[in-house]
Chains A and B, each alone.
Chain A
Amino acid sequence: MAKTKVLERKPLTFSEKTYIPQVASGLAATFVNMFKKSVTLEYPEVRPVIPENYRGVPTLVKDPKGRVKCVSCQLCEFVCPPKAIRIMPSEIDGEESDRAHVEKEPAAFDINMLRCIYCGLCQEVCPEEAIFLQDTFSLSGYTREEMVFGKDKLLKLGGTLPDNHFKWDKKKQAEENSENHH
């Protein structure tokens, strides 16, 4: 058992008993701060500047030509530690001439935001640079179902990011340039 030491409270001095100096010094601090630059943000009207590489909500992005980049390789689903991602792969319709050679796209792509821990492993593992944790950091919803973001919502959140590779375009070009055989 620890020993308890009882401390005697010091009696207040006369000036302390009047409270006047304390009130005055408090008001002085208030007046000084009234003319200083404010340190708080008027959230949610004013939003903080999000630094680059911030890990916000995972989103699906499109390439500058407006095409879905994800090919549903399901590596993010595999690597996701809280198992928040669910993907249903599907084959791209052969009629779609611009993307038919990519062959695969997600029919459904769900991220359960209640499970997501914003670790960013999905972004790191993505071989197509299709999933990015961007600057959205606050989410709310009324139901659990609402917090499972589907493909359309994720694409809307993601928007378009610049692409340095255009891997599939290069592939298509090679196909067109190649000599035809069987």
Chain B
Amino acid sequence: MLEVKVIDTVTINVDGELAQVPKGVNVIEAMRVVGKEKEIPHYCYHPKLSVVGNCRMCLVEVGNPMRDRQTGEAILEENGEPKIGWAPKPVIACATNVSEGMHVRTNTPSLVDCRNGVTEFLLINHPLDCPICDQAGECRLQEFSAEHGRGYSRFKEEKNVKPKRTRLGPRVTLDDERCILCSRCVRFSQEVAKDDVLGFVDRGTYSTLTCYPGKELSNNYSLNTVDICPVGALTSTDFRFKMRVWFLKRTHSICTESSVGANTEIWSREGKIYRITPRRNDAVNDTWMTDSGRGLFKESESEERLKSYSVDQVAKSLDDAIAATRELLEGGSIGVIGSAHSSLEEQYLLQKIVKHTNASFEMIQHTGEGDGLLMSEDRTPNLRGALITGLINQLPDTRLGQLKEAIEGGQIKTLLVFNEDLEQLGIDLGSLKDSVQVIYFGSSKNSTSEQAKVIFPSLSVFEKDGTFVNQNFILQKFKQAILPPMGLMPDYGVLTAILSELVENTHTVGMPSMESLWGEISKTVELLKSVQWSEIPEEGLALNGDAFASMNFVETENLKFKPTLVSEIV
């Protein structure tokens, strides 16, 4: 799984200094590699979209060593240095690829003058909306205007007025005045979302972004256009006018929508999440994520959420709930229904409980339709984590198997359920009320929680630390963004407490740290040998999934996933 790419490099001369950069990249990306103090300002260029070069902001001067046309020999200056033939005019860095020996100037007075000119043109019709604009604070135009703008306008005429709130789709609102016609959204819709509905109509300063008549920007990736919009033209209808971005704390997280495991950033303030945006990870989700994944935080704010530990439907302390659980688990005849929504740490701890109590274990596969991009068929974030920790050793079915028969046959006295609704799995709890006691781990109320003997409310992915293993066996960690409802512990804390009661007969207080959990996991789980919590990089750790290569995973090809087994059969 681990690919080692040998990158060819070329040597270029940047502002008089030699630098090694990857072959074939454009000058903007090359400057990122060089690590210049400032990036080359740009609006229309996006690393994951095609290059159009219509903003003209990324101007640089380039030149190549001159050669004699007849002999092909290098022409030298008097001091023996090769003579550089500079291009007569500045060129756009986004559409200029580096080549061996290329010379680049990024900051000459004439370039600054050019960029100032471009900025002035962009600002001619741009409204003075910054106080009410949601992009303020993360606006490229605002940033570069601070450096390249003149602070006052030489434009005496009235500004061109365009519609302020055009509905482009169910989730995107367009403020046309602010648009600088970079066409990132148009290219995104064409190239990534493959839903070519956006385009420019009219000419000159009247150019306007619109949807194709009779269509709307309603695909499940529409909010990515809001992310890539360098100005405040495309705004998220949901986040519009809610909160200024500079108040929001950013936390790295992972999307739980499907096994793709898109890298996300949670934007929260004082315990309230305001929005979720994608975080760039070229191995997982590039810079995109689904619209549906962005709304998942609303579930954890719902009224239906379980907010206290309870025994016999009466709110109790955590200790009471654990004591009741211990009693039930020590009674034997245990069935466990695990979940691929749990984090890897929780699955590891559950696996220990299953082994210790000799319980019969099953897990449910949750599938849905994939879209070939960032929503895979497997609608759980951590199925492969369950395989790695040894919680399961084959792929789960979408229905309960032997466990259902065992429950209905009366062989199971205690049933530990994670996140599943037993009614949906075809088990009528009402008729089994006397024979089966249910211990329920889940975040919101359902028919199972209503009949459960013990309830442990689970925390959402935003309220705890942990790791998931995605479709490509990339181990990715997520961090706690907001505080959980008062008094609640994450599942891994509860499971640790139950384990120590069962195995060591000791009562633990407090939550285990991720470091200590991983200290144990790294010793016992074969694939995670010598992996430490603090050493899992932000971009994820690719694990070797060859051991599971023979399994017939449900995912079909998507943006970053190629099914190996299916292609062999076909």
Give the contacts of B146-163 with A (CB-CB under 8 A): 158-163
Inside 8 A of B247's CB, which chain A residues have their CB?
74, 77-78
**Do A128 and B241 touch (CB < 8 A)?**
no
**Do A103 and B131 touch (CB < 8 A)?**
no
Inside 8 A of A94's CB, which chain B residues have their CB?
165
Contact of B131 among A75, A78, A181 (CB under 8 A): A75
**Do A182 and B208 touch (CB < 8 A)?**
yes
Give the contacts of A32-80 with B (CB-CB under 8 A): 71-75, 77-78
Contact of B240 among A71, A91, A127, A182 (CB under 8 A): A91
Q: How many residues of A are counted as interface, with CB atoms below 8 angstroms from the partner's CB atoms? A: 25
Secondary structure at the A interface, as helix, strand, loop or mixed, is: mixed
Closest to B208 in A: A182
Q: Given that A71-B132, A73-B132, A103-B132 are known contacts, is A89 also in contact with B208, CB under 8 Å in the complex?
A: no
Q: Given that A174-B158, A174-B159 are known contacts, is A74 also in contact with B244, CB under 8 Å in the complex?
A: yes
Q: How far, in Å, is A78 (CB) from chain B's closest CB?
A: 6
**Do B241 and A91 touch (CB < 8 A)?**
yes
Contact of A177 among B158, B210, B244 (CB under 8 A): B158
**Do A178 and B202 touch (CB < 8 A)?**
no
Q: Is B130 an interface residue (CB 8 A)?
A: yes
Question: B157-178 toward A: CB 8 Å interface, digit per residue (1/0)?
Answer: 0111111110000000000000
Q: Is A101 an interface residue (CB 8 A)?
A: yes
Cα A75 to Cα B132 with chains together (Å): 11
Give the contacts of B107-135 with A (CB-CB under 8 A): 127-128, 130-132
Cα A174 to Cα B128 with chains together (Å): 13
Contact of A182 among B132, B160, B201 (CB under 8 A): B201
Q: How far, in Å, is B132 (CB) from chain A's closest CB?
A: 4
Q: Is B406 an interface residue (CB 8 A)?
A: no
Cα A78 to Cα B163 with chains together (Å): 30
Q: Is A116 an interface residue (CB 8 A)?
A: no
Closest to A74 in B: B244
Contact of A128 among B131, B159, B244 (CB under 8 A): B131
Q: Is B206 an interface residue (CB 8 A)?
A: yes
Inside 8 A of A121's CB, which chain B residues have their CB?
none
**Do A73 and B131 touch (CB < 8 A)?**
yes
Contact of A181 among B158, B159, B206, B242 (CB under 8 A): B206
Q: How far, in Å, is A150 (CB) from chain B's closest CB?
A: 19
Q: Is B212 an interface residue (CB 8 A)?
A: no
Q: Is A136 an interface residue (CB 8 A)?
A: no
Q: Given that A78-B247, A90-B241 are known contacts, is A127 also in contact with B161, CB under 8 Å in the complex?
A: no
Inside 8 A of A177's CB, which chain B residues have their CB?
158
**Do A89 and B242 touch (CB < 8 A)?**
yes
**Do A174 and B202 touch (CB < 8 A)?**
no
Q: Is A175 an interface residue (CB 8 A)?
A: yes
Question: B306-340 toward A: CB 8 Å interface, digit per residue (1/0)?
Answer: 00000000000000000000000000000000000
Q: How far, in Å, is A43 (CB) from chain B's closest CB?
A: 40
**Do B164 and A127 touch (CB < 8 A)?**
no
Cα A77 to Cα B270 with chains together (Å): 14
Question: B330-354 toward A: CB 8 Å interface, digit per residue (1/0)?
Answer: 0000000000000000000000000
Q: Is A102 an interface residue (CB 8 A)?
A: yes
**Do B202 and A127 touch (CB < 8 A)?**
no
Contact of B163 among A77, A128, A174, A182 (CB under 8 A): A182
Inside 8 A of B132's CB, which chain A residues have their CB?
71, 73, 102-104
Q: How far, in Å, is B216 (CB) from chain A's closest CB?
A: 15
Q: How far, in Å, is B27 (CB) from chain A's closest CB?
A: 36
Q: Is B243 an interface residue (CB 8 A)?
A: yes
Cα A75 to Cα B130 with chains together (Å): 11
Closest to A181 in B: B206
**Do A103 and B208 touch (CB < 8 A)?**
no
Q: How far, in Å, is A108 (CB) from chain B's closest CB?
A: 13
Cα A128 to Cα B130 with chains together (Å): 11
Inside 8 A of B158's CB, which chain A residues have their CB?
174, 177-178
Question: A149-175 toward B: CB 8 Å interface, digit per residue (1/0)?
Answer: 000000000000000000100010011
Inside 8 A of B242's CB, which chain A residues have their CB?
89
**Do A178 and B131 touch (CB < 8 A)?**
no
Inside 8 A of B136's CB, which chain A residues have their CB?
73
**Do A89 and B160 touch (CB < 8 A)?**
no
Cα A77 to Cα B514 with chains together (Å): 36
**Do B243 and A89 touch (CB < 8 A)?**
yes
Cα A182 to Cα B550 with chains together (Å): 57
Cα A128 to Cα B242 with chains together (Å): 19
**Do B130 and A101 touch (CB < 8 A)?**
no
Closest to B157 in A: A174
Inside 8 A of B128's CB, which chain A residues have their CB?
167
Inside 8 A of A175's CB, which chain B residues have their CB?
161
Cα A174 to Cα B242 with chains together (Å): 28
Inside 8 A of B208's CB, which chain A residues have their CB?
181-182
Inside 8 A of B160's CB, which chain A residues have their CB?
178
**Do A104 and B241 touch (CB < 8 A)?**
yes
Of the listed residues A74, A128, A177, A182, the one surrounded by the most CB atoms of chain B closer than 10 A to its CB is A182
Cα A74 to Cα B245 with chains together (Å): 10
Q: Given that A103-B132, A174-B161, A177-B158 are known contacts, is A78 also in contact with B246, CB under 8 Å in the complex?
A: yes
**Do A73 and B163 touch (CB < 8 A)?**
no
Closest to B242 in A: A89
Q: Given that A75-B131, A78-B247 are known contacts, is A178 also in contact with B241, CB under 8 Å in the complex?
A: no
Q: How far, in Å, is B271 (CB) from chain A's closest CB?
A: 15
Q: List 6 A-B contacts (CB under 8 A).
A: A74-B247, A78-B246, A89-B244, A91-B241, A174-B159, A175-B161
Query: 6 extra interchain contacts, Cβ-Cβ under 8 A, other than A89-B244, A104-B241, A178-B160?
Result: A71-B131, A75-B131, A89-B241, A91-B240, A104-B132, A174-B158
3 shortest A-B CB distances, which residue pairs?
Answer: A73-B131, A178-B161, A104-B132
